Amino acid sequence: MLDLARSVVQPQSGLSVPARVLVLVDRITAHPRLFPRLQQRFPHSEITLLWVVTPSAVLTWGALLAEPVEERTHAMLAALGERMEEGQRRLAPLQRAALAAGLRLKTSVVHGALAETLVRVARAERIDQVLIPTGSDYHGQPPAELVGQVRRRLTCAVDTLD
């Protein structure tokens, strides 16, 4: 359900649009080509690009089990740090491009299971709409399937972004 108290009214049309929009991005979808669509649909909204580092993206269990016990924690933390830094590196140019395009944009890089993390961040940030771009499989999970999982847990709008 859209909270109209947190909606922004577009002066030209009188229609309300979400005040806060969360967009999931990854290696494939984290690209400035998202901005024209977002700017057209949400010109006055605050947009958060969310990069989620999933546990499976950190290390494969086979590689982890091959390490001696005393080195496993170090290997996991080092790999997690590398993936988090990768997300930050990929989102930094998008922040600059969004500024140039006139978008109000925040970025966030977090670690966790994909659907659960989307739900947690959306609730914590009081997001009005979650968008999951098509064109990626999000660690083997099709966007439509992910939308269904997240939609069941949130009261805000959850859709794909073509």
| Residue 143 exposed, middle or buried by CB count within 10 Å (0-12, 13-18, 19+) | buried
Query: What does the block give as tokens for 150?
Result: 């997240």
Q: Cβ(135)–Cβ(31) under 8 Å?
A: no
All structural domains of the chain: 4-161 (3.40.50.620)
CA distance 48 to 24: 8
Per-residue pLDDT of the chain in tens (162 residues, 90 and over written 9): 333 334 343 444 445 678 999 999 999 999 988 888 898 899 899 999 999 998 776 666 566 667 777 777 777 788 888 999 999 999 999 999 898 888 899 999 999 999 999 999 999 999 999 999 998 988 788 999 999 999 999 999 999 998
